[in-house]
Amino acid sequence: MILRDRVAIVTGAGSGIGRAGAQTMAREGAHVVVADINLANAEETVELIAEAGGSAESLVVDVTDDRALQTGIADTAARLGRIDILHNHAGAQVSGNLEQVAIDGFDKSWSLNVRAHFMAARFVMPIMKEAGKGVILNTSSSSGVLYDREMIAYTTTKHAVIAMTRQMAGDYAKFGVRVNALCPGWVDTPFNEPFIAQMGGRDAIESYIAEKVPLRRWADVSEIAEPILFLVSDRSSYMTGQILVVDGGETVV
């Protein structure tokens, strides 16, 4: 098991890609702190990991609450003695173009998709620096490489995550801390409901994917979990400041 005895915090791990990534890390020996704003979802992820023979615990936290986030990370480090991996995954889609998007929606998107990643990384960095090693993985999106029509809040934040990732990586490589970003494409989870609604429903999005994605299908969460494992493990030990796009080929069309 390639993550044996490591401690990982995964935000947004109560469902979807976050859950799949947490399960995969636990399968490979990590003790996973399942951080999510929803207690029931977090506990379900923990139960699934335990049923598979893995080790996990829940951390109910609103990642946009600086004090709660800092306390949760500090308590985890104090109890477990280390934090080896931080996967910043919690995020939100907010639809609308420049004139349509709700201002509070834009602010929410920025706070959750960018600022919370920044703050969580800020809180774990002293712990990783002291250890002389650590891995931070930020979730961006194929929308951080491309541009989704009429999704200005989402694309703006996901581009920002890539810039922030590269800046962090350059600043902290000398301390043995690696920072990379994951850019998933179309993954069939409820997370996509705002864009699906904007596109006109399920039939419309299926047609869109068949036309725009060379593999002509959605990804399953398991197909994103394996790249996550690669990025947070020693399999990518000489990789930092990089952006891994897992999108069925959409960005090369």
Q: ∠ CA(47), CA(233), CA(213), 5° rounding?
A: 85
Task: Indicate if 147 belongs to the active site.
Answer: no
First vs last C-alpha separation in the chain:
37
CA separation for the pair 181, 137 (Å, rounded) = 5
DSSP 115: I
Annotated catalytic residue, options 154, 172, 208, 238:
154
Spatial contact of 17 and 185, defined as CB atoms under 8 Å apart? no
Number of H helices, E strands in the chain: 9, 7
| Cβ neighbours of residue 61 closer than 8 Å, sequence gap 6 or more | 11, 35, 36, 37, 68, 69, 72
Q: Which residues are catalytic?
A: 154
